[in-house]
Amino acid sequence: MSETRLLTTVVGSYPQPDWLVDREALLRNRVPRIRVSDIWRIPEAHLEAAQDDATRVAIRDLERAGVDIITDGEIRRESYSNRFATALEGIDLERPGQVVSSNGIATPVPRVVGPIRRVQPVQVRDVEFLRAHTDRRIKVTVPGPFTLAQQAQNEYYPDREHLAMDYATCVNQEVKAMFAAGADIVQLDEPWLRQNPDEARHYAVRAIDKALEGAPGPTALHLCFGYAAVVRDKPAGYAFLTELEHSVVDQISIEAAQPQLDLAMLQAFATKTMILGVLDLGDQRVETPEVVAARIRAALSHVPPERLIVAPDCGMKYLPRDMAYKKLRAMTLGAAIVSASLSD
């Protein structure tokens, strides 16, 4: 009799320590699209060394929690997207643009004034550092081309579709370099797919496929409704999701616990491995392993265990560190409970 073991992972980010970042400044800037260096407590001359030390701590926490596929916690990033987005050629860093949200909030964003080009590696050292400090499988993340194009003020390209396709070329170059540096899995973060679903249906899958073309290893794509610290009321379904069954991506990561997602939609994915969010990051209580196990079992009614990976809903960046660790530990214990019951 053989046992099926459910794998666990994280979406990407893990809380940065208070000695490294000013968390009030971090929250004040919400999810920055441009550089916001004022969040760092460490002077520039010592910042990289301090980020390395904090990354070591994050790696150890993920290992101690029992997570199978880990990241570096994105400790060096001010947000999930701005580090990569502001490292590309074609951006006016001195005079940012702005994007106005549906609720009227104006957010500073990269202003595109020329051809978007990747002129140097952006996150390759991050991958090399992570690979050197763990024996576990590692996943690294990079913002996807659709989201990058949505988070920019376009003053050069004829439309956002053309902008997204050049972003896809840059992402593709970075993806291949990250695999070469030792990544086991590379994940695109594409939360804006659900915020502009009509435009996404027009060209998002083509842009994603271009970003992942020729990837020499497994790829993932994460969608969510926003960090729980920023977005409270979340819909119970995705406006753009099942379309990704026709993309080249191997794994699809979705937020499911906080929005109480109808898991029947998992049946729409016949070929993808689903990374299921089972930790509600908007709930200050730590789930019990039994609660996590129940959420996993609900998903197994719609997807076989060999195509299911367990994760938090979203990045854990804005949680207190002790809470993030305890939630991850509950997640791995809950996955172990279900795994023990899965046998031929």
Supply the pLDDT for residue 106: 86
Neighbours of 53 (CB within 10 A): 14
Supply the pLDDT for residue 149: 98
The alpha carbon of residue 160 and the mean position of all alpha carbons in its chain are separated, in whole angstroms, by 22
Supply the pLDDT for residue 339: 97
Average pLDDT over residues 5-20: 97
Supply the pLDDT for residue 160: 97
| pLDDT above 70: residue 2 | no
Supply the pLDDT for residue 183: 98
Residues with Cβ within 8 Å of residue 158, at least 6 apart in sequence:
none
Supply the pLDDT for residue 227: 83
Element (H, E) at 214: none
Average pLDDT over residues 146-151: 97
Residues above pLDDT 70, as percent of the chain: 98
Distance CA 312, CA 314 (A): 6
Average pLDDT over residues 251-270: 95
| pLDDT above 90: residue 307 | yes
- Dihedral angle of Cα 186, 192, 198, 202, to the nearest 10 degrees: -30
Average pLDDT over residues 33-49: 96
Identify residue 262 by its one-letter amino acid code. D
Supply the pLDDT for residue 3: 66
Give yes or no for a contact between 111 and 90, defined as CB atoms under 8 angstroms apart: no
Average pLDDT over residues 231-250: 91
Distance CA 261, CA 337 (A): 22
Q: What pLDDT, in 10s, does the model give residues 153-193?
A: 999 999 999 999 999 999 999 999 999 999 999 999 999 99
| pLDDT above 70: residue 322 | yes
Q: Does residue 3 or residue 119 have the better pLDDT?
A: 119
Q: Does residue 3 or residue 27 have the better pLDDT?
A: 27
Whole-prediction pTM:
0.95
Distances (CA, A) of 282 to 147, 223, 230, 295: 23, 17, 9, 16
Q: What pLDDT, in 10s, does the model give residues 73-92?
A: 999 999 999 999 999 999 99
Largest Cα span, the chain: 63
The mean pLDDT of the chain is 95
* Domains, the chain, ordered by start: 7-342 (3.20.20.210)
The alpha carbon of residue 244 and the mean position of all alpha carbons in its chain are separated, in whole angstroms, by 16
Give yes or no for a contact between 259 and 291, defined as CB atoms under 8 angstroms apart: no
Supply the pLDDT for residue 1: 40
Side-chain half-sphere of 307: how many Cα atoms within 13 Å?
18
Supply the pLDDT for residue 344: 52
Distance CA 155, CA 81 (A): 20
| pLDDT above 90: residue 232 | no
